Structure 1
Amino acid sequence: MASPSANSYQEPTSLKRPRSSKLLGWIWPILWLGLLIGSGIVGGWALIWLMRIPPLPECATISPQSTDGDRIYCAKAQAQSSDPQALVGAIELVATWSQDHPRYEDALEPLRQASERLLSKAQQRMQAGDLEAAVDLASQIPLDTPLRPAAQAAIYRWRQEWAAAATVETEVQQAIQRQQWDQARQSLQRLKTLSSDYWLRDRYQYWVESIDLEQQAWAQLQEARSLANQGTPAELKQAIGLAHSIDLRSHAWTSAEVEINRWSESLLMHAFRRWELGDVEGAIAAVQAVPPNLNLAPDAQDLIQFGHAQRLASQAKQQAGFQPTYGQLFQLMEAIRAAEQIPTTSPFYDSARQQLQQWQQQLQDLGQLRAAQSVAALGQIGTYRVAIQQAHQVAPERPQRQQAQTLIAHWQKQIERIADRPILRQAEALAQAGTIAALKQAIDQAAQVPQGRALRIPAQTLIAQWRQDIQIIEDRPILNKAMQLADDNQLRQAIETARTIQPERALHERAQGLIQEWTTAIQIAEDGPILQKAKDLAYEGSLTAAINTAAQIGAGRALYDEAQRAIALWRAERDYIWSLREAAAEQSAAAAETTDETAPESSDSEP
């Protein structure tokens, strides 16, 4: 009994020992795995840290106190720039390094690139005409660089060229002031010897235009003086107008202003004389050419003001069309404003007041018509009718009555177009089918537009076109049949068939052209053998027979002209042969008389 209990007590102990041993067996692999993972993490972090790119220097804040590497890096970067300031900055970063500097060799390349680019930029500034900016840029190239001599030579060359160009421009300017146009142009040619585009292109073109401008201005002034010397009011007005057209930029304008004032005073005196004689219209017509800004007596200023108002009103009248414009309204408003400035004490007040009342009526009518036009611009039948009612309010005795009637007629036509356009649209829709029945329906529809309506002519045009389309549909089978007969070489039957298409039909002209073509083919077929026979006879030497054969081709036939040319050629050839034979016969007769011998009988045969 003791033995079983002992066995039962030892069994759990024997089972527990393998479990502890198994647990201890897993500890070492887990430990080594942890060490391996940790080592990998540390190694990866170290590799990343070693491969990390250091931050680039901030070239915007670079200074002489920065490291040599940063200065070289920024010098290289700025040397690639197109900004002149950046190029100057690149040079300044490394230009102070001596040959003993450890990074001197590394600095040479960016220094060279920046200097080349800077000199190129300076050249561009010079070509653009900015000499001082070009010199300033070129002077930034350091002394101890290979491009320094080239930069100094360029600066010297530029200054020499500028001095030479300034001398030429002074000579040209003096020649212009003396009005020596040929001398000015001759001196200007020396600019072409320079190398800068600024002088060759810009300044040369400027002086060419200046010479032309001055020459034209002085020619205009001379022509104006010639007109003014005649002394008549008409010539004085022309002279003032011509002088006013002189370009204000020219030197001639200063002299022209003096002449304009002098001529204006003469014209003003003439206007006063016309006024004193009671010729109000003549006075106003004369004074309209006088500028309103002259320093004259009050009465003269009033007359000029009145003439200015008259000119504005006349311009408004000249602009008048069947539709009023804002330009007309503005011109009339300016004329009224000018006339209102004439004081009651002026001798021209009464005349100005009469014109003022008329212009005010015109302005009122134009304003009313302009309002009516704005309503009509909506493009509806109702708005057109409202506009017509407004235009009818312009009384028959008012200045703009005719213009109002013209607008009314125009708007009535617009109403007719709006009313009749659906009729034509429906007709066009019917005609799209292209059949005879559809075209006839379209014609009946378009015929509903009454005579005298705005769309009557377009309707009749469409009707005529559709009638032609019907004729084409009706006659096309006939023409096709005729063409088929012609293709089968039955030309006479084709001609007879095509002749059934009557005149005034749409295809009649086409049919006649084909008939002419087929008739020509028949005549060539008939007369070709005759002409060929005549040619064969001529080739054999029977010229008279050839002529008689070719003459069988009558006038108007297709080969008639060719036959006549051949006949003329053969006759000339035959006449030449006959002349040779006659000459030979005369020589034989002369020889027979000399030798008293009987000449052999000749056997002439006609060719």
Structure 2
Amino acid sequence: MRDNKVNDLSGIPLTENHTFDPAHKGYHQQTVDNMDHQEDNSMTVADDDSSLIYKLNGIARKMPLWTKSWMLWSLILILIPGSIGFVGISMLFKLPSSPKCPEVFWPLASASVRLHCAQIAASKQTIDDLLQAIDLVKQLPENHPLRGEINRQLEQWSEDILKLADQSFQAGNLEEAIATAHKIPPDVNVSQLVDKQIEKWQSIWSKAEAIYQEAEQELRQRNWQSAFMLTSKLLRVNNEYWASTKYDELNNIIVTTREDGDKLYKAEALAKNRNLQSLLQAIKLARTVKPNSYLYQKSQELITEFAQKMLKLAQSTMQAKDADTALEIARKIPPVAELQVQVDDFIMLGEAQRSAFLGTISGLETAISQAQQIDASREIYSQAQELIARWQLEIEDISRLEKARNLASQGTINDLTSAIAEAQQIPTNNPRSQEARREVARWVDQVETIEDRPYIERAEQIAVMEDVNSLQAAIAEASQIRPGRALYFQARQKIRDWTAKVERIQDQPLLEQATALADSGNLQEAVKTAQKIAVSGRALSKQAQTAVDTWQEQINARQNWQKAQQLALAGTPESLSQAIKLANRVSSRNVLRLDVNIAIDQWSQEILNIARSQSEVDIAKAIDIAKLVPAGSSAYRDAQQEIQNWQQFMIPKSLSTPSFQPSLEATPPLTPEFSNQ
């Protein structure tokens, strides 16, 4: 007996260690032709028949007589050979079973076996199985009878590999897809499509990545609309991964980033208020943006910007000498790497400035001591040294000012003069120079007031009589105070008052004379007299000008009234209308206005009467005359009624019939020219 196992599919004997790997070097397999196998089976059957006949003869000698019946043996001889023949024929016509591919010894395998096993492997539609199928048949000779079928299968399996690679590409695994495509043997016809397919994948992938990156950049710039438009382009990319997974991912990122953007917009709006609470709220809001957000970097930039605004606010507050508030603001500035050194320096120097703002020698000495503790390596060291020098000068200035104030407190001219001299020793570029200048100016005013007060007092005593001579003497006394002195403006006000009194005393008789002339009816002479005062610019000039205007208006009114009366004498509609216009120029404040109103009503009635008379001859002309009646006169309403009646009369009856086109609008008044036609 042989130890080899027989393949259940093909009947080919196999060794126990056989595997399906064709590259394995330890395979051992015996390939036996199916027809030889059938012949061996037939020979085995013939040997079995001879042995059986021999045994039957031996048995026949020992058997009873009844066993020697010819009929029995005939039947046996018929059945046994028939059975053997049936079994032999069945074995001859029995088809060989399919080979078991894992047990095939590939170096000796036929082309049909290789093709059959390759097809089985390829049917699994995995990359490894398709590659194994290609490897099984690609090494067969080019002149093999099955080469046509093999090439067709190789092309199909290569296309299947490309499809599987494309599935990886569509799933988002570009590198895996490229690696899979490169596994296709270069000597297969389809291999020329591999580079084109890879180039296509890379082009699609690069385009999608560019869209994605551009959308990310728009998000960082907070251009939501542009980001949404770019996102929609992913739907048109020929890749399911980018058109679905990455599209949804980017949409979710936009929604989240937009929420962060709204927070930053609100923070920026708060920071524009530039007060402490708004800046703190803005920083708190910007800190809610998470590190994985596209706007995280922007939020950090804004936090730095808001912190800088807080530092500037603290600095401006310190310049306003509100050190406590300035230091409070500085201590609330969030820790920002770019500003931390500046904030620490500001607080350190601010503590010294707070002591200096007390304005006392002890406070300045404390400030100097605190500033001297600042290390030379700090950025504010030079500023601290400048302040120390300034504060040392300020201590000297305070000492001088205190001495000067003590002198000035005595209130005498000599003491004030000494105080001024002491304060003037403070140089103009010293810290307390402005304060010293203010004190000097105040003490100088006190000295000048003491010196010039007697002039004011004497002038007031002289002016008590309020006659021209006394007032002029008072003016002369007060004029001794020179410009720029402390009491100069007070003296000038006194001089203006006394001068006005002198002018009133001098001009009042002339104004009274003009008034008397006007009362007597001599308005022309009154105007001429008062005009002298009006143009002088003296105390009574405004009063005189008012009187001149009043009298001149009366003169004009009288002239207009006279001209109107003369025009009205003509009695024509035009002359009466002109007379009314002239008469209306008389002011309502004038005494002639009552007579004017009566005359206007009379002349208006005359115009209406003329129009009524004219209506009997020419209605159009009558309407024109009636329109001359002025509004506000007693005849105005009657004139308007007559005009309406005459216009209605001029409308043809056919147009005024109610049954004729009732939807038409009222016909406008006809012109005189139409009526004449």
Q: TM-score range by the shorter chain?
A: 0.3 to 0.5
